[in-house]
Amino acid sequence: MARLKLPIGIQTFSKLREDGCYYVDKTPLMLKLVEEGTHYFLSRPRRFGKSLLLDTLAELFEGNEPLFRGLHAHERWDWSRQVPVIRLSFAEGVLHSRADLDAKIEELLAENEARLAASGQALSLSGRFSQLIRQAHAVTGERVVVLVDEYDKPILDNLTRPETAREMRDGLRNLYSVIKGQDAHIRFAFLTGVSKFSKVSIFSGLNNLRDITVSADYSALCGYTERDLETVFAPELEGLDRDEIRRWYNGYNWTGESVYNPFDVLLLFQEREFHAWWFETGTPTFLVDILTQRGFFTPDLAHLRADEGLLSTFDVDHIANEALLWQAGYLTLAGSRRTGARLEYRLAYPNLEVESALNDSLAKALIGQPSLASALTGRLYDLLVAGKPAALHAHFDALFAAIPHQWHLKTPIAQYEGYYASVVYSHFAALGLDLTPEESSCAGRLDLALRFNGQVYLFEFKVVELEPEGRALQQIKDRGYADKYRAGGQPIHLIGVEFSRERRAVVGFEVETLTAGAMD
């Protein structure tokens, strides 16, 4: 099988097909969408192929038959019908005001009017959009297709300016309400974006949308499946460890089949190196700032739970941590259960890339000195490779000495233990190690368990007033936290760490190692 061009950054279906690029055929799912309904909404993280999906749908409805030769849809679509398609995309540029948004909408409507031979005589933007839909239907005799890409970007670009974000929300709500009002003239509508804003806030007048964000049938509508890698991209796999590809980039799931992030896979095939390709295209500064300002307990990232209502409660005036992390792609759905009438989801990291890179960003923000935090992370790895747990004492001293004095002045004493645990957890998780925070047993919860290089490290953290009290290590021993690891025959290091709230430093560090002989 010959190698083809890698479609890195290509969001235009015609260019991808005409340039001889790899293409994962999503037309079976597209036909299913058309057969099952007419109005859809889909939320997916950035760089997941949403724009390419909409462009492919546009080419399908416009009847560009040559582009689909060899694909599933080619023998199953009526190419004799050409349907007018209205495309609205907010992907380009950053809009800073309601005036900018209105100008952008006017520009998009003018482009569509010129392409579809509509007049554009209405005075208001919503009236002009309505007129465009009606005229396109009247001229062609075919009901219209409306495709909206990055429907929420004008709001997301202004989340740090809530008043502007609200103005953007109101302007977009005015625009999207037209889709419901002109339903008689619309054959098919599809809106995509990163976030899933609550229906009350932005889709209050558009209650006929089918939200397929967490539909099992459409979990793989964007992204590459395991089978896609094994078939479509088979020529690119030589020399790459399949298990490592899976560990680094697979794992995104919306209650159906898990998928890979396309951007990661394509960059891996081009560069032949495992790297946080997707994460680095958009460092989540806003998300990190929100989590640190709210005092988010970062060990919770490994085992969050949220009901379906909370995940959909995303608005300018209320952004739940769980919804923000999930919709941005830093957590994914790892399971669900019914609790009476309530549906609860379990959230988890999708893969190694996100776990490591997100915690690296969080650790740098929590410590407050990014360059020093980076150096300390490298030093931590060297210490763990050396397998000398006692040497971690000096490392913890340096880690907490790096915290700016100003942080202590503005942080309530009640948050200290959670803050220290968050710093340590994210510091370790930045390395992508086998960590289990808040590990439960019948005796209680251990703060942190680490398995690395044939050894087990069990950490317990305590905040004390001034002097060490020896409670952290004693708790590990009293509660038998090591018992579940004894059968493995590996050295087990029990490590108790105590921080003084008065001295703002590590004042107690005790290590006890259980060797295979001591465990018998």
Asked if residues 486 and 480 have their Cβ atoms less than 8 Å apart, the reply is no
Amino acid at 213: T
Q: HSE on the CB side for 460, CA within 13 Å?
A: 24
Question: Would strands 444-452 and 492-500 be described as parallel, antiparallel, or unpaired?
Answer: unpaired
Is the pTM here over 0.85, yes or no? yes
> Which fold is adopted by the domain 25-215?
Rossmann fold (3.40.50)
The segments of the chain whose pLDDT lies below 70 read 198-207, 283, 313, 405-416, 440-443, 516-520
pLDDT per position as a tens digit, 86-104: 999 999 999 999 999 999 9
What backbone torsions phi and psi does residue 220 show, to the nearest 5 degrees? Answer: -100, 20
Classified as helix, coil or strand, 460 is strand
Which are the contacts of 325, defined by CB distance < 8 A and separation ≥ 6? Answer: 287, 301, 304, 331, 347
Q: HSE on the CB side for 445, CA within 13 Å?
A: 7
Distances (CA, A) of 315 to 180, 213, 237: 21, 17, 42
pLDDT per position as a tens digit, 395-421: 999 988 887 765 555 555 445 678 888
Q: What's the pLDDT at 408?
A: 52
| CATH number corresponding to 365-519 | 3.40.1350
Question: Would strands 210-211 and 332-339 be described as parallel, antiparallel, or unpaired?
Answer: unpaired
Q: What's the pLDDT at 503?
A: 79
Q: What's the pLDDT at 443?
A: 63
Q: What's the pLDDT at 417?
A: 73
Q: What is d(CA 422, CA 425) in angstroms, rounded to the nearest whole number?
A: 5
Q: What's the pLDDT at 205?
A: 60
Q: What is d(CA 427, CA 461) in angstroms, rounded to the nearest whole number?
A: 15
Domain boundaries defined on the chain:
25-215, 365-519
> DSSP letter string over 282-343?
S--HHHHHHHHHTT--GGGGGSEEEEHHHHH-EETTEE-HHHHHHHTTSSEEEEEEEETTEE
